[in-house]
Structure 1
Amino acid sequence: MCKNRAMHRVVVLALDGVIPFELSLASRLFGTATDGDGARLYSVRTCSLDGRLVRTSADYAITVEHDAALLAEADTLVIPASGQFAGITERAALPPRLARALAELRPDTRVVGICLATFVLAAAGLLDGRRAATHWHHSPHFKRCYPQVDLAPDVLFVDAGRVLTSAGAAAGIDLLLHLIRKDHGSAVANHVARRCVVQPQREGGQAQYVERPIPTSPDSGTAATRAWALERLREPLQLADLAQHAGMSRRTFTRRFRAELGLSPGQWLTQQRLDLARHLLESSDLTVGRIAERVGFGTDVSLRQHMREAIGVSPGAYRRTFRG
């Protein structure tokens, strides 16, 4: 969590072949984040390796004003996807200028790889022994190239501390919103999401986007049961309760739930309860015990345990950091 509320410096490194959509994400999301007085919380600048024109994956190029010397100033470095790096299999395969630029990063610089940029970070050795994500379509190739990286094929993004990676283009939005939430709390992240007309947090993982046959029955999904459960989070909901509401056996309900969201029903319920708990910690005067009851964890001990496992802090520490 970001304790220093000074302007956080974000640098975006545009590499040849950069995908324009991913290139725009950092500027759009970080650039929208403001404090209660409307002051910007991040500065965002874009550079290339040599400060010259950068070819994109589309039918145009972009002009940047800075070269890789800007990386030395970065508190957070964002590398958008570039299709030409999807086949990198060795550190020596990185262009020398790129390898030197990444090697000169400060030890405390946070590094973010969006989609195929995971290959760049792996080739640079930044993911050795770490958990990471990349696009599901390229996961088998990535595993063969980088067995030293703990690839998580079913998630939208991975926060491995200093180095963070996302699964695909839109998952880059999820990851950057996660960083804003981590730095400045849910209220700021939700405001950015509303301004950009995107979901503050998406349910599930990238497994739900893997190519698969489309269900033929319009009544075969679990959306109605999820909506029903969200109105009853304080109740001790069990798998049997959810399956009964959906009119399915527990096995069928669990299978369809995983197919739709990439999560088990229990994991999803915990996620929703934590989201509500964080909101109440930021926006209400309720005690930790009352919040635990309201969101369905039952006791303050249970809430503390779940919050420490999920975000590494206690409810009290979270409230002190992010209470408006």
Structure 2
Amino acid sequence: MPVAAILAFDKVVPFDLATPIEVFSRSRTYEVKVCGTATVDAGAFKLQPPWGLDGLAGADTVIVPGCSDVFAPVPDDVCTALRSAADAGARIASICTGAFILAAAGLLDGKRATTHWLAAQVLADRYPAVTVDPNVLYVDNGQVLTSAGAAAGLDLCLHLIRKDYGSAAAADAARLSVMPLEREGGQAQFIVHPQPVVPQGSTMEPLLRWMIDNAGRDLSLEDIAGHARVSARTLNRRFREQLGTSPLQWLHNLRIRQAQALLEATSAPVELIGARVGFGSPTAFRERFKRVVGISPTAYRLAFQSAAQPADGVRQSAGDR
């Protein structure tokens, strides 16, 4: 039976620690070991791992849960144990900010990796040898894997079981743990895309307010420039200087954010929402939405909608279910 060792590093995130224990234990196809250096601070409780770092020796898979303090130094003996496990052929995976521990051990150098989107820039700044992708649920480099937030850790664990035992075993593990089936690793993290900023007191403010009020219209660059009474070239320059983007990109981001709100709060057909926020065709809306958010409008609705009522009395179309 393969050994799955969970490294409980100090200041561990409780849910990130519980996730691999729950998934691998319930699958009944792994021997699970919780390893650590000393008493582990899990916030609301303390944990005394049954195995020390020597428990990583001989493990087939090593899981590193997230740590609550990404700036805390990683002890040399932890880095050495992880490198030794990797050199011995163990598969090494991290959940959420556990990627910082793998990076400190040098296991992510020259590799693509992910972590929680809130910590992604910190990871990239501290470890420039790592290519950080904040837009996916998990990254599988073969021997070394990383995942985003706690929920993505569930997906990563199911992904590992599927690699070892097949899709049926992963589905069984998901059902036993009363979890949804695995999402694809390339799916985007659900990053909050805020409403485009309207700088207070900026000379652009009246124009931006007008764009917000008229976002549902089929506005062209020339339409916006005409309202501002400047050339398209001047308008582009002012947007770049003050907002760091182009007029149309700012407008598209506004429309996508409006569409997200409608998908969350209503049951209106996707085609109607796309038209309502200003996209000329359902295809253009779906393509733009997936490019920005990472998943389709329908998938976004399934993930975020909460008991919405049909908008304007329009029932959900069959193609949107």
Query: Please, what TM-score do these two structures have when normalized by structure 2?
Result: 0.64
- C-alpha contact 2:148 2:189 (8 A) present in aligned 1: no
Specify the structure having the higher radius of gyration (Cα).
Answer: 2
Q: Residue 54 in 1 paired to residue 40 in 2?
A: yes
**C-alpha separation in 2, matches of 1:221 and 1:256:** 17
Structure 2 residue aligned with 1:21: 15
> 1:135: how far off?
0.8
The offset of 1:220, in angstroms, is: 8.9
Q: Distance in 1 between matches of 2:267 and 2:105?
A: 42
CA contact (8 A) 1:111 1:163 kept: yes
Give the alignment of 1:139-150 within 5 angstroms: 139-150=120-131
* 8 Å Cα contact 2:80/2:105 also seen in 1: no
CA distance 1:148–1:114, change in 2 (3 Å): same
Q: Relative to 1, partners in 2 of residues 1:256 and 1:103: Cα closer, same or farther, differing over 3 Å? A: closer
1:32 to 12, 26, 29: 26
Q: What residue number does 2:285 align with?
A: 252
Matched, 1:95 2:75: yes
Cα distance in 1, alignment partners of residues 131 and 267 from structure 2: 31
Per-residue CA distance 1:285-321 (angstroms, 9 max, x = gap)? xxxxxxxxxxxxxxxxxxxxxxxxxxxxxxxxxxxxx
Paired residues of 2:138 and 2:145 also in contact (CA < 8 A): yes
Is 1:170 matched up with 2:148? Answer: no
Paired residue type of 1:67: G
Pairing of 1:39-118 with structure 2 (within 5 A): 40-49=28-37, 52-56=38-42, 58-84=43-69, 86-87=70-71, 93-105=73-85, 106-118=87-99
User: 2:251 aligns to what?
Assistant: none
Distance 1:173 1:67 in 2: 25
Deviation of residue 65 (structure 1)? Answer: 1.5
Name the residue aligned to 2:192: 210
Deviations 1:178-218 (A, max 9, x none): 01111111111011111222221226634433353563434
Contact 2:289 2:296 survives alignment (8 Å): no
| Deviation by residue 1:51-102 (Cα, 9 ceiling, x = unmatched) | x32111x222012221111111211011101122x126xxxx5312222322
Residues 121 and 223 of structure 1: CA distance in aligned 2, closer, same or farther (over 3 Å): farther
* 1:155 and 2:136 are equivalent in the alignment: yes
Contact 1:180 1:188 in 2 (8 A): yes
Looking at structure 2, the residues matched to 41 and 184 of structure 1 have their Cα atoms a distance apart, in angstroms, of 9
Percent identical pairs in the alignment equals 38
Residue 220 of structure 2 corresponds to none
Which secondary structure does the structure 1 equivalent of 2:262 belong to? coil
Instruction: Tell me the residue number matched to 1:309.
Output: none
Distance 2:157 2:268 in 1: 26
**2:185 corresponds to 1:191:** no
Is contact 2:61–2:93 with CA below 8 Å preserved after alignment?
yes
Q: Distance in 1 between matches of 2:138 and 2:129?
A: 18
Alignment of 1:235-250 (within 5 A): 248-250=281-283
Aligned to 2:96, the other structure's residue is in SS state coil
Structure 1 distance, partners of 2:145, 2:268, is 30
Separation (CA, whole Å) in 2 of partners of 1:76 and 1:223:
45
Describe how 1:304-315 pairs up with structure 2 within 5 A: none
Match of 2:3 among 3, 6, 9: 9
What SS is found at the alignment partner of 2:6? strand
Structure-1 separation of matches of 2:107 and 2:60: 16
Q: TM-score under structure 1 normalisation? A: 0.63
Work out whether 1:136 is the aligned partner of 2:121. Answer: no
Q: In the alignment, is the contact (CA less than 8 A) between 2:139 and 2:145 conserved in 1? A: yes
Shift of 1:264: 6.9
RMSD: 2.9
Hey, what's the Cα distance between the residues in 2 that align with 1:264 and 1:152? 20
